[in-house]
Amino acid sequence: MTTRALRILIAEDSPTVRRRLVDAFSADAGCMVAAETADGDRAFELCQRLRPDVVTLDLALPTVNGVELTRRIMAHCPTPIVVFSSPENRSRGLHLLDALSAGAVDAMEKPLRPAAEDWMVELLARVKLAARVPSITHPLGRLKLEPEPLRDLPARAVVIGASTGGPAAMKDILQRLPRDFPLPILLVMHLSEQFEVSMVEWLGKYSPLPVRQAVDGEMLPSMCRPAVVLARANRHMVLSEGLLRLTDGPERHSCRPSVDVLFESAARELGGRAIGCLLTGMGRDGAEGMDALKRSGAVTLAQDEASSVVFGMPREAIRLGAARHVVGLQDIPGWLAALARRRPERGHA
């Protein structure tokens, strides 16, 4: 049986880059160019009329910028979008994150050389991955697990893992947390190095807690001065003897940093004093680590299917029985706030 080629809409204002994209997609047997344009309004019209499988979208389009165009497409003709921009302007990193928040599946920076072969190979891979997003969902997401009896220990930290769709999900969570949220949050997202600084700044606009990158050997932030600590690209973040360690250990599920590595270290270090949360993302990273957290007595939450951009990672945790609760994104901040203030029973340290 012959697999249908992916139909791609290219929205790119640079004629040189647009020609390069057309040539690269046309040369790949798994892709075909449905249409190309340099204009934002025209891109929206083409997306509505042609209903492509994927849109590649430059942020700097005339008439409609990439962030607004992403919002329009997702509101009127939802389509997987891979967005990219030139790296010269630092503010572009923030715009890329805004586009992800608006519904884009993935984001890349353009290469300094339009003909960079390695960038085109990566783009082709990401476009094919993005095309799978609409069909990755699973009926398990509608399953609401019965609450289990929880050990009433004072929480010490929240550990969160996310991948595809994670920036927008974390923005939503952070902006709804109370300003006096008492616990540090350790966060692993599958990010490339060029987005690290922008991600910290972007999330910091919405967070009641300071947001920063992890530093090897620092102490776990205290409950008096909590913070959101983001794992560094290409380094695992591990909690060990009260310290955050950044390691170059082997990848887990092709990921470094890995959610599994953080979650398993939190299970060993904190046990029932951890709160684990697994958000939207493709693949299975985090499922085994969440299982370790649950077995150690921690509270574990998995984002539900309906609110996930990609239900892969939460679905795998649910299949393992690692999620004590399956929760919609809009409800996760309330759960975290309530669990963070849970009082210990008499006799617990």
Which residues, including other chains, have CB under 8 Å from residue 279's CB and lie 6 or more apart?
Answer: 160, 161, 162, 165, 166, 169, 170, 303, 308, 313, 314, 329
Angle at 335 between CA 331 and CA 341, to 5 degrees: 150
- Give the whole-angstrom CA distance, residue 199 versus residue 298: 28
Beta bridge partners of 10: 36, 56
Q: Is 124:149 a contact under the CB 8 Å cutoff?
A: no
- Give the whole-angstrom CA distance, residue 225 versus residue 210: 9
Give the torsion sign (CA, 235, 340, 330, 177): negative
Which residues, including other chains, have CB under 8 Å from residue 169's CB and lie 6 or more apart?
Answer: 162, 279, 280, 303, 307, 309, 329
Active site residues: 163, 190, 285
